[in-house]
Amino acid sequence: MKIIRDTHEMQAWSSDRRREGLRVGVVPTMGYLHEGHLSLVRLAKAESDVVILTLFVNPTQFGPNEDLERYPRDFERDCALCEAEGVDVLFAPSGGVYAEDHTVYVVEDVLSARLCGASRPGHFRGVLTVVAKLFNLTLPDVAVFGEKDAQQLRLIRRMTRDLNFPVKILSGPIVREADGLAMSSRNRNLDAASRAVAPRLNEALRAAEKAFAGGERGVQALRTGILKALGDLAPGELDYLEILDDQSLSEVGETIRSPVLVALAVRFPGVRLIDNTTLNPEESPHANRPK
Ligand code: PAF
């Protein structure tokens, strides 16, 4: 596996592969890799000839009081995992990717207005800007993102379409711990009391899926069921619970008639966790969907 630290070298490497007629896949990450990331690498490998994993903890997507400093990092471990998974290039830009006096950002203000966009002002401006830059640096045919970051995924698809990036966006399903907690690099920063409560996010979403599979279509009833299953989240507290149109992320009426995204976020001490599911009335109401 090749480790590239320099942005110009990264662009040149990808240009050369493309000139050779190879399909380039990229998996953008902030490192501290887990099975969720590795599942995205496998998806990228299935769709391309060479795979780049980018590792960059992007400062512009963290707010001033967020966990940029505490974000877990372990470069040696990440290298070993990438090597074992058959990644061709680990791109870990040593000087970052921003000019010191950079002033240009990518901003979207409709899909990013709610959910994490409302709780973390400026977050998606940072995400879209860095993803656009990573696309320009790695020149991918295919890019793969995780479905845990549901709003991020929709925003990246929108940016790719609206800015005409010639990149196919693929997504990989949420990978969970044995107790259902969605895998996240941040999980390691949970204290014991928070870790014990954290699986409740998944349990509440499963409760909603069960009610929906049983025929429940009322937004209010589903919300009530989810809140009941979440219970007292101490030492955490609910940041948001939203049931929105799956694509436009806009309000749905009282009754679900088209696919919706059920998304929630919980703030634990020093760590904010998100999770989600989609409910689709076009699927058989009594079928248990594989997850
Ligand atoms: O999902 C992430 O890890 C990050 O938001 C991303 C897409 C790598 C951009 O920094």
Asked, for residue 96, whether it belongs to a domain, the answer is yes
Q: Which protein residues are within 6 Å of ligand 1, measured from CB?
A: 28-30, 58, 61, 127, 130-131, 149, 152
User: CATH number, domain at 238?
Assistant: 3.30.1300.10
Q: Are 261 and 276 in contact (CB under 8 A)?
A: yes
Distance 121 CA to ligand 1 centre (A): 16
pLDDT of residue 1: 98
172, 199, 222 — which closes off a domain? Answer: 172
pLDDT of residue 283: 87
Residues 252 and 198 placed together within one structural domain of the fold: yes
Amino acid at 63: G
145, 172, 199 — which closes off a domain? Answer: 172
pTM to 2 decimal places: 0.96
* Complete DSSP assignment for the chain: -EEE--HHHHHHHHHHHHHTTPPEEEEEE-SS--HHHHHHHHHHHHH-SEEEEEE---GGGS-TTSSTTTS---HHHHHHHHHHHT-SEEE--TT-SS-TT--------STTSSHHHHHSTTHHHHHHHHHHHHHHHH--SEEEEETTSHHHHHHHHHHHHHTT---EEEEE---B-TTSPBP-GGGGG--HHHHHHTTHHHHHHHHHHHHHHTT--BHHHHHHHHHHHH---TT-EEEEEEEEETTT--B--SB--S-EEEEEEEEETTEEEEEEEEE-TTS-TTS----
Residues 71 and 17 placed together within one structural domain of the fold: yes
Alpha-carbon gap, residue 243 to 56, rounded angstroms: 32
Asked, for residue 289, whether it belongs to a domain, the answer is no
Residues 202 and 164 placed together within one structural domain of the fold: no
Asked, for residue 177, whether it belongs to a domain, the answer is no
Site to probe by mutation for ligand 1, drawn from 54, 127, 156, 184 as the one with most ligand atoms within 8 Å of Cβ, is: 127
Distance 213 CA to ligand 1 centre (A): 32
Residues 203 and 155 placed together within one structural domain of the fold: no
User: CATH number, domain at 111?
Assistant: 3.40.50.620
172, 204, 225 — which closes off a domain? Answer: 172
Cα 269 to chain centroid distance, Å, stands at 21
Asked, for residue 209, whether it belongs to a domain, the answer is yes
Distance 38 CA to ligand 1 centre (A): 14
The pLDDT profile of the chain, 291 residues, written as one tens digit per residue, is 999 999 999 999 999 999 999 999 999 999 999 999 999 999 999 999 999 999 999 999 999 999 999 999 999 999 999 999 999 999 999 999 999 999 999 999 999 999 999 999 999 999 999 999 999 999 999 999 999 999 999 999 999 999 999 999 999 999 999 999 999 999 999 999 999 999 999 999 999 999 999 999 999 999 999 999 999 999 999 999 999 999 999 999 999 999 999 999 999 999 999 999 999 999 864 444 444
Residues 11 and 135 placed together within one structural domain of the fold: yes
Asked, for residue 291, whether it belongs to a domain, the answer is no
- Catalytic sites, residue numbers: 37
Residues 144 and 14 placed together within one structural domain of the fold: yes
Residues 127 and 198 placed together within one structural domain of the fold: no
**5's tokens:** 């630290």
pLDDT of residue 32: 98
pLDDT of residue 234: 98
Integer CA distances (angstroms), 231 to 6, 216, 238, in order: 48, 20, 10
Site to probe by mutation for ligand 1, drawn from 152, 174, 276 as the one with most ligand atoms within 8 Å of Cβ, is: 152
Residues 167 and 200 placed together within one structural domain of the fold: no
pLDDT of residue 101: 98
Site to probe by mutation for ligand 1, drawn from 29, 144, 274 as the one with most ligand atoms within 8 Å of Cβ, is: 29
Residues 71 and 114 placed together within one structural domain of the fold: yes
- Nearest ligand 1 atom, CA 61: 10
Distance 283 CA to ligand 1 centre (A): 31
Name which residue sits closest to atom 1 of ligand 1, judged by CA. Answer: 29
Asked, for residue 183, whether it belongs to a domain, the answer is no
Domain containing 196 equals: 191-279
* 138 closest CA partner among 79, 87, 102: 87
Alpha-carbon gap, residue 91 to 223, rounded angstroms: 42
- Nearest ligand 1 atom, CA 127: 9
Asked, for residue 186, whether it belongs to a domain, the answer is no
For 10-14, which contacts have Cβ atoms below 8 Å and span 24 or more sequence positions? 10/52, 10/89, 10/91, 10/93, 10/137, 10/138, 11/136, 11/137, 11/138, 11/139, 13/89, 14/52, 14/137, 14/138, 14/139, 14/140
Residues 35 and 161 placed together within one structural domain of the fold: yes
Alpha-carbon gap, residue 118 to 246, rounded angstroms: 17
Residues 136 and 213 placed together within one structural domain of the fold: no
Residues 167 and 236 placed together within one structural domain of the fold: no
Asked, for residue 219, whether it belongs to a domain, the answer is yes
Number of structural domains, the chain? Answer: 2
